[in-house]
Structure 1
Amino acid sequence: MTKLLFLDDAYMQQTDAVVTGVSDDGGVILDQTVFYAGGGGQPCDTGTLTDLATGNSCAVTKVGRVSGSVVHTVPGEPALTVGTTVRAAIDWDRRYQLMRTHTALHILCGVVWRDYGALVTGGDMRPGAARMDFELENMSAEFAHEIETTINLEVAQERDINVDYLHRSAADAHPDLIRTKVNLLPPAISEVRTIDITGLDLQADGGTHVRNTREVGRIRVVGHESKGRINKRLRIELEEGK
């Protein structure tokens, strides 16, 4: 099983690792990795694997999970073999934008839950932009403007963001940890990772986040729409400059 270094340090940009498996379709498995495999609406990382013995590098174009391991997809048949030591490095600019975007969604979710008690029915993101759907009956331009004002007040509070772990029984006793309409936690998980935006939002989450809300920068609500009688969507973008 691959050790997932990003779970405890989302700012780690690279690591040396040993190849523990390869496949004919360009998949490389490492003993540990900084690459996020995607999930919860956050896309996977991209980057490079560099053979430390030869200096040869190959691009990682996709990352996914297979039976507990993170599979790094490289174009064509990889020249790497089992036992090779490589330097695994992510595209940091892209990752950091995704971290800011993911945290922005948690700020949005935290505000809508706190102020309106609405669960999340869906979401998606790309670097610098995202959308989130909520179990809400009403949506308007005035509502979207009010939400934009409130979430940026939370950014300005410079709230610390902490990672922690709870035993499954403790997590199950804390239903507010799951903000989605459908509980997506696999039954087999015995320990639940949480993301805590201090004083605002505590959720079960497996993705990557910044350390403080100030790193997110200004969030703009750029669209709103109805996706059904009690399903409303908000679209956000991050202003440049971070």
Structure 2
Amino acid sequence: MPTKHLYQYDSYQKTFKAKITAINGVEIVLDQTIFHPETGGVAHDTGILKIGGLEYKVLNVKLDYATGDIIHVLDTQPKAELGWEVEGEIDWPRRYRLMRLHTAAHILAAIMYKDYHALITGGQVDVEDAKMDFNIPTMDRSIFEDAINKANEAVERNLPVKIYFLKREEALKIPGIVKLAEKMPPEVEELRIVEIEGLDIQADGGPHVKSTGEVGKIKLIKVQNKGKDKRRAYFTVE
């Protein structure tokens, strides 16, 4: 069985227990985890794992796309065996900031899609800031300024952010469920849906806040023209 992705059910869970299913040097796989891997354009979690009375730092987290397992990369090779129980804790300030920026990215994507018919052609959510590319015809800073202003209005309305699962066939019938220009959701039976009430609905696998009010003020840092279909905006949250 692949790793159970606990963060997809509760983004606010900070600690957990699990059992070791694989060890390869400094890399360890568990039967379940709250650690979010570097995937979907969102940076990975960090934190600690306690194994056999010793504490190890989790420096990186990766997803094995072939198996669905989540690989925790530790600071040193653990003294452990298969089946051992571990306790884990994520770096919560890092996770929470990623959640705020990730939800901010969904708000911005929804407004760009609705008002400018723009799809996402690239992006990355890191701890300090985020960047997103859109396929708008020409580079125009005023478009992004307008979208950021509208995004902050959505933040002020404190809209609920709902997470649930739908059958893939049912989910893909929803208009605008996919806002990526060149990528469809994974070939799985059920899709995880992130809905910002009255504003947006997307298939998405990463952690989010519970309401837009938690995002804070969204600030446009700069814009860049990275070529055709790549009009880039850098932004952060305060």
Fold-level similarity (TM above 0.5):
yes
Look up the match of 1:104: 104
Judge conservation of contact 1:29–1:71 (CA < 8 Å) in 2. Answer: yes
Q: In structure 2, what is the Cα distance between the partners aligned to 1:41 and 1:181?
A: 14
Secondary structure of the residue aligned to 2:176 is helix
Distance 1:6 1:131 in 2: 23
Q: How does 1:1-242 map to 2 (within 5 A)?
A: 1-23=2-24, 25-51=25-51, 54-66=52-64, 67-187=67-187, 189-239=188-238
Q: Please give the root-mean-square deviation of Cα atoms over the aligned residues, in Å.
A: 1.3
Q: Deviations over 1:191-236 (max 9, x none)?
A: 1111001000100000000000010000001111212244311110
Give 1:130's aligned amino acid.
A
Q: CA deviation at 1:138?
A: 2.5
The offset of 1:175, in angstroms, is 4.7
The farther-off stretch of 142-151 and 163-172 is 142-151
**Contact 1:137/1:231, CA 8 A, preserved across alignment:** no
Unpaired segments ≥5 residues, structure 2: none
What amino acid is the match of 2:196? I
Give the 3 Å change call, closer, same or farther, for CA 122–175 of structure 1 in structure 2.
same
Tell me the SS of whatever aligns to 1:61.
strand
CA distance in 2, matches of 1:156, 1:216: 9
Percent identity between matched residues is 35
Unaligned runs of 5+ in 1: none
Q: Distance in 1 between matches of 2:30 and 2:40?
A: 23
Please say which of residues 195-204 and 132-141 is displaced more in the overlay.
Answer: 132-141
